[in-house]
Amino acid sequence: MKKYSMETTVGIFVVICLLCLAYLTLRLGDVSVVGDASYPLFARFTSVSGLKVGSPVEMLGMHIGRVAGFTMDQKDQVAVVELRIGNGVKIYEDAVASIKSNGLLGDKYVKIDAGGGGSLLRPRGTITETEPPVDILELISKYAFGDVEKQQSGKTK
């Protein structure tokens, strides 16, 4: 009788540990099983260099969502980024989305200036005003080597 009692106690302990591990995995992995507390928005960029699925979306310096995916609009030659925004966050039609970098060589994220004029963007709406990421290497090379066109145009006049 004691043998079965010990096995039952160990079994219950193992089940509790597995449930705790599953909860932590879902919580830390930012995975939702029951329902998603966010809505989709889209933004059209000329370049999404360095941006990844799962990159944060920020507004006013606060985390409000994540990048959910990318598609390419070959007709207009732009990248369409799907953003998952938290349900309580309001974004207006005149919002501006830009791709920024954390530090000089940090990861990329999407920064949204929410706007305030016009009406609210509905779920699956599109942010039309966007700014692509700044190419740091291009800026450094322009600074280091100067603007060649500017020097040549100055000599011809």
46 and 29 in one domain? no
Per-residue pLDDT tens over the stretch 42-57: 999 999 988 999 999 9
The pLDDT of residue 53 is 92
113 and 81 in one domain? yes
Distance CA 122, CA 86 (A): 13
The pLDDT of residue 112 is 94
The pLDDT of residue 144 is 80
Q: To 10 degrees, the CA torsion angle through 79, 84, 88, 91?
A: 0
26 and 92 in one domain? no
104 and 83 in one domain? yes
The pLDDT of residue 31 is 59
The pLDDT of residue 71 is 94
- Among the residue ranges 71-85, 98-112, 135-149, the one predicted with the least confidence is 135-149
Confidence of residue 120 (pLDDT cuts 50, 70, 90): confident
Percentage with pLDDT > 70 across the chain: 85
96 and 56 in one domain? yes
Model-wide pTM > 0.95: no
| Cα-based distances in Å from 93 to 71, 75, 97, 154 | 21, 23, 11, 43
60 and 47 in one domain? yes
Q: How many domains does the chain have?
A: 2
User: What mean pLDDT value characterizes the chain?
Assistant: 83
Per-residue pLDDT tens over the stretch 74-95: 999 999 999 999 988 989 988 9
Does residue 122 carry a pLDDT above 80? yes
